[in-house]
Amino acid sequence: MKYHRLNAELFVKNRARFVAQLPPRCIAIFVSNDAFPSNGDALHSFKQNSDLYWLSGIEQEESMVILFPDHPDARYREVLVLERPNELKEKWDGKRLRVAEAQAISGMSTIVWLDQLDALLPVWVHLADTICLDSNENDRKSSWLRTREYRFIDEMQQRYPLHQYCRAAKIMNQLRAIKSAEEVEVIQQAIDITEHTFRRLLSFVKPGVMEYEVEAEIFHSFLSQRATGPAYGSIIASGDRARTLHYVSNNQPCLAGELLLMDFGAEYGGYCADLTRTIPVSGKFSKRQRSVYNACLHLHNYAKGLLRPGITILDYTEKIGEEATQQFLKLGLLRKSDVKNEDPQNRAYRKYLYHGISHHLGIDVHDLGTKTEPIRAGMVFTIEPGIYIEEEHMGIRIENNVWVTRNGNKDLMKNIPITADEIEALMKK
């Protein structure tokens, strides 16, 4: 890890929250992600199973977390399974965790080597009535690749067909959506790194700079601040390319007079930041660009005022759509007849704002959480309205991360420059 070790109490509390939701005599087992091959003997960069990380802080492959709060032997109520260190393998692939290191990271006292597990696991399972297994149930999942957790489900159901089974994902969806104060502290560290990077970019961007040069500055700044790296592929889109929501080619020049949309965030301690700012390449907004930018900022602040406990994402989005309609009328993008004759299932404003306004944020950039149930205190969301005008080759998006509180929300990015005047002043410097 590049980042400073997190306080293990964060993971201790996460496990306590999880086991409190388990039925009696239930054993819960979490397995690490696959190490995926790319070509030849190379592997893709390893990314840990988010649920396993949330419970333990362990990023190493070939690891498992086993929780059995009703086990009669207290030693086996929390077990961390790791690959046994091998001197020859370490010469090739690097150091593996030792017992004391794993205990310090996770706060778990019982460490079992993976090659011991076949002798121990059947004994534990025989004491349980229910087996709780993990699965990837993120609503944004688009791949049906049969990953390790699903293969493990198959294996367990074949070995123990008479046990009852339950879904850890159903519990995790509720728990991970509500961030503890300790988790928000880590998110804030990722945000602070992202803020420092953005301020650097304001003095770096100028006509003629390549999008990939901006991306390189981001990566350099993140690593120099102990971030793991980008939380996702940075979107550096100048001019008309800003209308492509997930533009990642980042291979074109930023031209004088264009706007540059930058959507990027650091990952620190396993948690993500997600920032978007749109700035003038030449350092000054044109009159029209400023008008559209201010309309987008108005929608951003309007959304921030709505995002509080009790509202659902669906109602929240609908209200923002109403306000977007009024803003687009003022900008001359819509006519009253467009609104009067709009399709209720594809409203007129959607021509210029064609994505959602907010998503959950945490260990995953698109973190676990519901879209249909009321928002609750403790959730962390992005707020990211955009305005995309094909006829004007312009795309603007403004995004901050907020922590929902009992009475509203706290903007975790409140210190990051956001107004047109602030951006112009810093670029001038």
Closest CA relative to residue 401, chosen from 422, 418, 388: 418
Query: Measured between alpha carbons, how far is 286 from 288 in angstroms, rounded to an integer?
Result: 5
**Structural domains in the chain?**
9-175 (3.40.350.10), 181-428 (3.90.230.10)
Distance from chain centroid for Cα 57: 16
Going residue by residue through the chain, which has 429 residues, state the pLDDT in tens, using 9 for 90 and above: 899 999 999 999 999 999 999 999 999 999 999 998 899 888 889 999 999 999 999 999 999 999 999 999 999 999 999 999 999 989 998 999 999 999 999 999 999 999 999 999 999 999 999 999 999 888 776 677 889 999 999 999 999 999 999 999 999 999 999 999 999 999 999 999 999 999 999 999 999 999 999 999 999 999 999 999 999 999 999 999 999 999 999 999 999 999 999 999 999 999 999 999 999 999 999 999 999 999 999 999 999 999 999 999 999 999 999 999 999 999 999 999 999 999 999 999 999 999 999 999 999 999 999 888 999 999 999 999 999 999 999 999 999 999 999 999 999 999 999 999 999 999 998
Q: Which two tokens stand for residue 162?
A: 């008479």
Residue 78 dihedral angles phi and psi, to the nearest 5°: -135, 120
- Give the integer Cα–Cα distance in Å for 334 and 356: 20
- C-alpha 50/C-alpha 256 separation (Å) is 42
Q: Count Cβ atoms below 10 Å from residue 170 Cβ, excluding itself.
A: 12
Long-range contacts of 61-66 (CB under 8 A, 24+ apart): 61/32, 61/33, 61/35, 62/32, 62/114, 63/32, 64/29, 64/30, 64/31, 64/32, 64/114, 64/117, 65/29, 65/30, 65/108, 66/27, 66/28, 66/29, 66/30, 66/121, 66/124
Strand partners of residue 409: 404
Cα–Cα separations (whole angstroms), residue 204 to 181, 197, 259, 262, 395: 35, 10, 14, 13, 21
CA 183 to CA 176: how far, in whole Å? 10
How many Å apart are CA 29 and CA 125, to the nearest integer? 10
The token pair at 106 is 């996770």
Residue by residue, DSSP assigns 196-239 as HHHHHHHTT--TT-BHHHHHHHHHHHHHHTT--EESS--EEEEG
How far is Cα 85 from Cα 99, in angstroms, rounded to an integer? 10
